[in-house]
Amino acid sequence: KDFENVLLEANDGIATLTINRPKSLNALNSATLTDIGDALDVVKNNEDAIKVLIITGSGEKAFVAGADISQMRDMNPIEAAELSKLAHNSFGKIENLKQFTIAAVNGYCLGGGLELASSCDMRIVSNKAKFGQPEVTLGIVPGFGGTQRLTRLVGRGKAKEMIATGTMINADEAHRVGIADEVAEPAELIDKATEIATTIKRNGLIAVGMAKYVIDRAADLPLDLAIDFETQMWAQTFATEDQTEGMTAFLEKRHAKFTGK
Ligand code: HXC
C-alpha cells in the first residue's frame, strides 16, 4: 500500500517505516500520524513476512523535528486533544506490535519525534543526531507521551531538565542518559540497525513479542506482581512449537527453525 507521508518497505523479514516529509523535517501533522498508524496495521497484519521494524526519517537532516507547528498554531484545546490522541493511538500500536521496533535516528529528534523514538523498543542514533523536547519554547508541554516515556527512559531529573529548558542534547549525551542505546556514524546507521534486526529476527516472534510485552506491561508494577507476571508469560511460552523446536535444536546441535507458532 502507498502512503502519502510515510514509506513502508519490507526486505527479508525486516520492514522499514520512513517518515517522509523532508521539506518540513518530517514534522508530524495529523495526516502523517494517521499514515504511521495505518502502516503499523500493515506490519501487525504481516507477522509471517515482517519480524522486525526499523523506523527512520527521510533525508539527511531530521528523524522528526516534532509535531507540525504550522498545523498546531491555530488549534483549540479540543483539536489539540484530538491530535494528541491520534499520536497516542499510533505510538501505542508500536508498543503493542509483537515485532521488535528499532528507531534509527538519523538527525533532529525533537518534540513529537523524540516521543515517537521513545515509543520504540530501542534507539540507534547517528552521531549527528540532536534530541530535545522544545515544547515549552512554544508555550506548550509535550503531548505525545514525552512527560511519561522520556521520564521512564532517563528518570525524573533529566526529563524535567530537558523539558523545562527545551534545549537539545547531542548523541553522546543521549547515550549517556539512556535515550540512545547505540551511536553510529551517519553512513553506518541503517547497517547497524539492520545488523541488530537480523539477530533479533532469527529468534521466535512469539518469544520476542512476549519479552517486550512483559517488560513494558510490568514495568510500573510492584516487583512481586511484576515477577509473577513474568512467570505467567514464561509458562505460556511452553505452549508454543517454538519452545520445543528451540530446545530440540540446541540438544541436536543445530540452528532452530522458528515458525512463530
Ligand atoms: C513544522 C517545521 C518543523 C515543525 C521544521 N519545520 N520543524 N515545520 N513543524 N516542527 C520546517 C521549517 O519551518 C522549515 O520550513 C523547514 O522545516 C526547515 O527547517 P528550518 O528551521 O529552516 O531548518 P534549520 O534552520 O536547520 O533548523 C532546524 C530545527 C528547526 C532546529 C530543527 O527547524 C526547529 O527548531 N524546528 C522546530 C522544532 C520544534 O520546536 N519541535 C517541537 C514541535 S512541538 P520552510 O517552509 O521555512 O522551509 C511538538 C509537540 C508534540 O513536537 C506534542 C504536542 C501535542
Whole-complex ipTM: 0.96
The residues annotated with a catalytic role in the active site are 115, 135
> How far apart are the CA of 140 and the centre of ligand 1, in A?
15
**Atom 54 of ligand 1: nearest residue by CA position:** 143
Nearest to 118 by CA among 184, 162, 59: 162
Question: How many C-beta neighbours within 10 Å does residue 70 have?
Answer: 9
What is the rounded distance in angstroms from the CA atom of residue 184 to the CA atom of residue 175?
A: 11
Q: Residues 175-186: pLDDT tens digits? A: 999 999 999 999
**Atom 30 of ligand 1: nearest residue by CA position:** 65
**Atom 46 of ligand 1: nearest residue by CA position:** 24
What is the rounded distance in angstroms from the CA atom of residue 219 to the CA atom of residue 187?
A: 34
The predicted model gives 99-124 an average pLDDT of 98
Q: What share of the chain is helix, strand, coil (3-state, %, to 5)?
A: 50, 15, 30
Cell, residue 37: 498508524
In the block, cell 521496533 appears at 101
Burial 107-138 (b: 16+ CB within 10 A, else e): bbbbbbbbbbbbbbbbbbbbebbbbbbbbeee
Largest CA distance in the chain: 65
Q: Residues 126-181: pLDDT tens digits? A: 999 999 999 999 999 999 999 999 999 999 999 999 999 999 999 999 999 999 99
CB of 70 closer than 6 angstroms to any ligand 1 atom: yes
Instruction: Supply the mean pLDDT for the chain.
Output: 97
CB 162 within 8 A of CB 133: yes
Q: Residues 185-200: pLDDT tens digits? A: 999 999 999 999 999 9
Q: Residues 28-87: pLDDT tens digits? A: 999 999 999 999 999 999 999 999 999 999 999 999 999 999 999 999 999 999 999 999
CB of 65 closer than 6 angstroms to any ligand 1 atom: yes
